[in-house]
């Protein structure tokens, strides 16, 4: 009774599907979060009558044959990279990327991580950092006597010092892009790491060809559509129930067969 194993593969696949949807919904309000989507593949088939095999001495062939599948498996959990909405906060250190690219963050290990979450803060030394205190790369230090900070669309950080009229440039933000951004490794805290699947990082100034523009006083929201996720969740739940019904039905059939006299 292959249907027992087939139903089990379906339940396992839908369990992971529900877990993926649950993570999306849980992060519906996470800054810069990109939703994920479970993708499935059918398993190997057993041929009881091979397609295209000869069926007579006259050279006729079997047009369809008999193939029985072994179930389903999860092929990938892909990250959907479509742009989230821009939510205006009016906080001078909230930065959003409108378009392609990631902010670069220096980890305590010295490695570079990448993020779409631009809810930055200032360290005690005036360095622009993440909520966990990791500095933005390249390092940008805001003078203690600065009375105003402006970040233009090209990523230039301009400050107005106390007693001065002209603004002063204290740094230039650089964005990072990848040939396959979906291949980045998520490590939590809204951070990603480069992998062989993502390709090598390419950096450039915001607003240049291939890079998005920086929007000050705004944050990119999650691209999770809660209504769509709830609909997908109901579909996954029904698929799980149907696969469990397959196992129950197969068990009843086996009981009937074992009771034959």
Per-residue pLDDT reduced to its tens digit, 69-120? 999 999 999 999 999 999 999 999 999 999 999 999 999 999 999 999 999 9
Same domain? 97 vs 15: no
How many domains in the chain? Answer: 2
User: Is residue 223 reached through a cis peptide bond, with omega within 30 degrees of 0 on the bond before it?
Assistant: no
Same domain? 148 vs 44: no
Strand 95-98 with 121-122, pairing = unpaired
End-to-end CA distance of the chain: 20
pLDDT above 70 covers a percentage of the chain that reads: 100
Q: Write the CB contacts of 26 (distance below 8 Å, at least 6 apart in sequence).
A: none
Same domain? 182 vs 242: no
Same domain? 132 vs 215: yes
Same domain? 216 vs 234: no
State residue 257's pLDDT score.
Answer: 87
Same domain? 29 vs 64: yes
Q: What is the C-alpha separation between 261 and 257, in angstroms, rounded?
A: 9
Q: Write the CB contacts of 117 (distance below 8 Å, at least 6 apart in sequence).
A: 30, 31, 32, 103, 130, 190, 219, 220
Same domain? 111 vs 203: yes
Same domain? 194 vs 135: yes
pTM attached to this predicted model = 0.87
The first and second tokens of residue 126, run together, are 């005036």
Domain range enclosing 41: 2-81+224-258
Same domain? 188 vs 234: no
More confident residue, 259 or 205: 205
Same domain? 103 vs 207: yes
Q: What is the C-alpha separation between 118 and 32, in angstroms, rounded?
A: 8
pLDDT level of residue 259 (50, 70, 90 thresholds): confident
Same domain? 91 vs 194: yes
Q: Assign 138 to helix, strand or coil.
A: coil
Same domain? 97 vs 184: yes
For 134-159, what is each residue's pLDDT tens digit?
A: 999 999 999 988 999 999 999 999 99
Inter-residue contact 177 to 101 (CB < 8 Å) = yes
């Amino acid at each position: 009774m292959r249907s027992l194993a087939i139903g089990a593969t379906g339940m396992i696949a839908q369990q992971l599907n529900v877990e993926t949807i649950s993570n999306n919904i849980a992060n519906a309000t996470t800054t810069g979060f990109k939703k994920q989507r479970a993708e499935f593949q059918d398993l190997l088939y057993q041929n009881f009558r091979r397609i295209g095999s000869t069926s007579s001495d006259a050279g006729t062939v079997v047009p369809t044959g008999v193939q029985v599948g072994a179930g389903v498996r999860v092929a990938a959990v892909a990250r959907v990279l479509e742009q989230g909405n821009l939510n205006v906060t009016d906080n001078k250190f909230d930065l959003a990327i409108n378009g392609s690219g990631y902010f670069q963050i220096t980890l305590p290990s010295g490695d570079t991580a990448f993020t779409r979450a631009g809810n930055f803060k200032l360290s005690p030394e005036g360095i622009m950092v993440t909520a966990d205190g990791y500095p933005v790369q390249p390092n940008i230090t805001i003078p203690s006597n600065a009375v105003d900070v402006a970040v233009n669309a090209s990523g230039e950080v301009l400050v107005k010092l106390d007693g001065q009229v002209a603004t002063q440039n204290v740094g230039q933000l650089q964005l990072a892009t990848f040939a396959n951004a979906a291949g980045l490794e998520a490590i939590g805290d809204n951070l990603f790491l480069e992998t062989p699947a993502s390709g090598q990082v390419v950096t450039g100034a915001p607003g240049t060809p291939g890079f998005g523009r920086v929007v000050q006083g705004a944050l990119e929201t999650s691209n999770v559509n809660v209504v769509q996720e709830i609909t997908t969740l109901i579909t996954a739940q029904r698929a799980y129930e149907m696969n469990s019904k397959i196992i129950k039905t197969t068990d009843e059939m086996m009981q009937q067969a074992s009771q034959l006299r």
